[in-house]
Structure 1
């Protein structure tokens, strides 16, 4: 078995033909409506969280949150900018359980929780909650 890094040659972005993916202005990439709808649907049951306090390694946060929320069923975690984590649940009930229960902690540090919206900004702390 050969080295997987050598299986395919890399292509330069400049060599790609993306003309059928561009809007009329020739600069903006077209979004496929079915992909937008599918991704938006997935994010309806998502929240963003941030662990405040000391700098806890990502693997510790990941394993601790998965341990605490395992009873909620399957959910996906995506690491965002500035320490934010997107948690997408399979159903609204699981999302509501996280929002209404708690407080949640990782290594003694409180987890701030916010329902994800299209206006979410990693620079804002507005709307964060942590049940006490």
Structure 2
């Protein structure tokens, strides 16, 4: 059994800390299409490296956490009509679809009373469906009050 020193692990964590892991729900999309499509969509926030993982998963490695977080909060994302399920990379995470015991899903909340139109209020409403992860930019800024988009883990 090989047991690398903590410094080796810490270096690896630093390398991957700004990454997202994802897969397309219900479809296999060719790597070249995923790379071209998402690099084009996401380049306004910074450079991203698209890396193929195991069994249809992808790693998206960003230059900084701000770009990574903007991609998460501005979803949902799709390629060729297939929804891209994304989650933050975590230390020790397996890069297979099997590691996704739950799935992040964007939901649209309509007819929310104005007194609940706060981050805490919308999170409370969304928690009836799953664990709230983030909200889109228009929801958090309050620029659109007709509906809220919240990403929840189901």
Using structure 2 for the length normalisation, give the TM-score.
0.60
* Structure 2 unaligned residues grouped into runs of 5+: 108-154
Q: How far does the alpha carbon of each residue in 1:7-42 deviate from its partner, in whole angstroms, 9 at most, with x for none?
A: xxxxxxxxxxxxxxxxxxxxx446365443222112
Partner of 1:105: 78
Partner of 1:131: 106
- Residue aligned with 1:131, SS: strand
> Relative contact order (alpha carbons < 8 A, sep ≥ 6): 1 or 2 greater?
1
Q: How far does the alpha carbon of each residue in 1:91-115 deviate from its partner, in whole angstroms, 9 at most, with x for none?
A: 1111111111111010111100000
Q: How far does the alpha carbon of each residue in 1:45-74 deviate from its partner, in whole angstroms, 9 at most, with x for none?
A: 111011122322111111111111111211
- Residue aligned with 2:55, SS: helix
Once residues 103 and 120 of structure 1 are traced to their aligned partners in structure 2, the CA distance between those partners, rounded to angstroms, is: 22
Using structure 1 for the length normalisation, give the TM-score.
0.69
Partner of 2:36: 63
* Structure 1 unaligned residues grouped into runs of 5+: 1-27
Partner of 1:46: 19
Structure 2 vs 1, CA of residues 127 and 53 (structure 1 numbering), >3 Å: closer, same or farther? closer
Give the alignment's Cα RMSD to 1 decimal. 1.9
Residue 119 of structure 1: how far off its partner (Å): 4.0
